[in-house]
Amino acid sequence: MARVNVNQIRAMKLTGDKIAMLTAYDYSTARLVDEAGIPLILVGDSLGVVILGYDSTIPVTMEDMLHHTKAVVRGTQKALVIGDMPFMTYTISAEQALRNAGRFIQEAGAQAVKLEGGVTVADTVRRIVDCGIPVCGHIGLTPQSINALGGHKIQGKTQATAQKLLDDAVALEQAGAFAVVLETVPAPLAALVTKQIGIPTIGIGAGVGCDGQVQVINDMLGSFTDFVPKHAKQYCKLSDIIKTAVTEYLNEVKSGAFPTDKNSFTMDEAILANLTKTGCCQKQE
C-alpha cells in the first residue's frame, strides 16, 4: 500500500480538504491512528513530556526520537510519518542538521522531518529539502525555545510579532517546506497567514482558519493527566477507562477471579500424577 506523500498534502490546501494530523509515539497507537485514516502522523518531541515525563521537550535526544519513530513507522502503512528534530540537533551547523535529518529518513524510515523556527532556520530547511528530505516548519509558540519565550505564551499579539509570524511562514515556504505548524497564535492571524502562503498551515491552538489541525494524541484521548492545554479537546477520557480496568484487574487477582480456565493451559494428567508420586527432587546422599 502506497503511503500518503507530500504532494498529496500540498494538494489538500488547493482542494480545501482539511488536514488532520496527530502525534503517535509507539507501534500499537500508530497502527490504530493509521487504520483510522489519519494521513499525517507526527512523532513529536512532545513525547519528552507525555511519554518520558520531562517537564519540557528540551531534554529529548536524537536517540529517543529515532527509537520512537522506528516503532511508529513499523505500525503504519498509509500515513506519512514525520520525525520531529529535537532541540539543538539542527542549529549548530548545516552539516549537523543534514546528518540528523538523514537519520530520521534512513535509520528510522520516516518520510519527512519537522523543525522549529522560521527565518533563522530557512537556509537549513533549504539544504535539507535539497537533499530530498521533505520538511515541515513549526512557528509561533516553539516549545524548544520556551526559555527564550518566557513560558507557554500566545505568540503574535503585537504588530512586530504578528509581522514576524508572517515573515517566518513566507521564509519557510520559500525555503521549500511542504507545510508549516502554527502553534498558539491568535486565530485571525493564523487565518491571514493561511491565506498569504501557498503551503498548508497546520494549527494547534491557532483556530479553525488553518488548512489543518494537529493534536498531541495523549491530550486528545485524555490519557495525559498532568494538565490539559486550552487548545486540546478530550474526545474521551482514557485515564478513567484505564484506572477502572486496572482496579478491576487488581481486585480479580486478589480474589482469585482471574485467571479462569479460559486464560489457563492444561496438561496430560498422567504426567502430573507421576510427578506427584516421585515428589520434588532426589535427596542428596
Residues marked active site are found at 183
Residue 205 CB, shortest distance to ligand KIV, in Å, is 9
Q: Which residues bind ligand KIV (CB under 6 A)?
A: 23, 42, 44-46, 84, 138, 181, 183, 204, 214, 216
Minimal CB distance residue for ligand KIV: 44
If the CB atoms of residues 56 and 174 are measured against ligand KIV, the closer one turns out to be: 56
Residue 216 CB, shortest distance to ligand KIV, in Å, is 5
What is the C-alpha end-to-end distance of the chain, expressed in Å?
67
Cα dist from 67 to 12, 32, 78, 229, 273, whole Å:
30, 19, 20, 26, 49
Q: Which residues contact 12 (CB under 8 A, 6 or more apart)?
A: 18, 19, 200, 211, 212
If the CB atoms of residues 232 and 281 are measured against ligand KIV, the closer one turns out to be: 232
Among all chains, which residue has been given the C-alpha cell 508420586?
277
Q: Are 134 and 175 in contact (CB under 8 A)?
A: no
If the CB atoms of residues 162 and 206 are measured against ligand KIV, the closer one turns out to be: 206
If the CB atoms of residues 232 and 258 are measured against ligand KIV, the closer one turns out to be: 232
Q: Which residues contact 218 (CB under 8 A, 6 or more apart)?
A: 23, 50, 51, 224
Bridge partners of residue 140, in order along the sequence: 183
Residue 271 CB, shortest distance to ligand KIV, in Å, is 55
Quick one: cell of 167?
515573515
Residue 273 CB, shortest distance to ligand KIV, in Å, is 59
Q: Are 82 and 135 in contact (CB under 8 A)?
A: no
If the CB atoms of residues 2 and 228 are measured against ligand KIV, the closer one turns out to be: 228
Residue 146 CB, shortest distance to ligand KIV, in Å, is 12
H-type helices in 47-184, by residue range?
A: 47-50, 62-74, 94-106, 122-130, 146-149, 159-175
